[in-house]
Amino acid sequence: MTIRLGDTAPDFEQDSTIGKIHFHEWAGKSWVVLFSHPADFTPVCTTELGLTAKLKPEFDKRNVKVIALSVDPAEAHLEWIKDIEATQHTVVGFPIIADADRKVSELYDMIHPALSATATVRSLFVIDPSKKVRLTITYPMSTGRNFDEVLRVIDALQLSDGYTVATPGNWQDGDDVIIPLTVQDPALIEQKYPKGYKAERPYLRLTPQPNK
């Protein structure tokens, strides 16, 4: 199944390190980061899960729930968590889906047969409170993810949802933002962007971040 931006994230029920999870019910009204790992007791995944655990305060303040996935059973996950916590010096405070039957992996197209017939690639989905997929990133098995970028994109998505703005390349929280081309009425521009704007070109209008 191919999942595209704007699609409703498929619902599922699957075992995990905190018991059976009904995904949409578990997600509730939060944003969600769902990300997969090729297998338990693998080095890159261990560092990723440790980093994610350390970033929990950052996810919490953005109303984001994090949930990982591997195709190993829950018992193996629980043993692996001990290693993650010991080697990465943190506490894993989020569930890991036990997708032993690969139901979720296939539902979210996480298995790429040209790389492995059984292990998942490093797929990551950002899902908003209405259960819409807002971001997909796929990394190869050998490359660990950049979670600073995941947080940056969530900031940008939440800002765009709250205000009619777009974000330029390499945007960071606090930088100027872009007035979309869909906004052309001068009266509406004055209302929506009271801090004013600078037009580099008629189609490129920069305004201070509205919530700063």
Enzyme catalytic residues: 45
- Looking at residue 175, the DSSP 8-state letter turns out to be S
For the chain, the first-to-last Cα distance in angstroms comes to 40
Long-range pairs of 121-125 with CB within 8 A, sequence gap ≥ 24? 121/36, 121/38, 122/35, 122/36, 122/37, 122/38, 122/48, 123/35, 123/36, 124/33, 124/34, 124/35, 124/36, 124/150, 125/3, 125/9, 125/32, 125/33, 125/34, 125/35
CB 21 within 8 A of CB 13: yes
Sheet containing strand 96-98, strands side by side: 96-98, 64-70, 31-36, 122-127, 133-139
Biggest CA pair distance of the chain: 61
Number of H helices, E strands in the chain: 7, 10
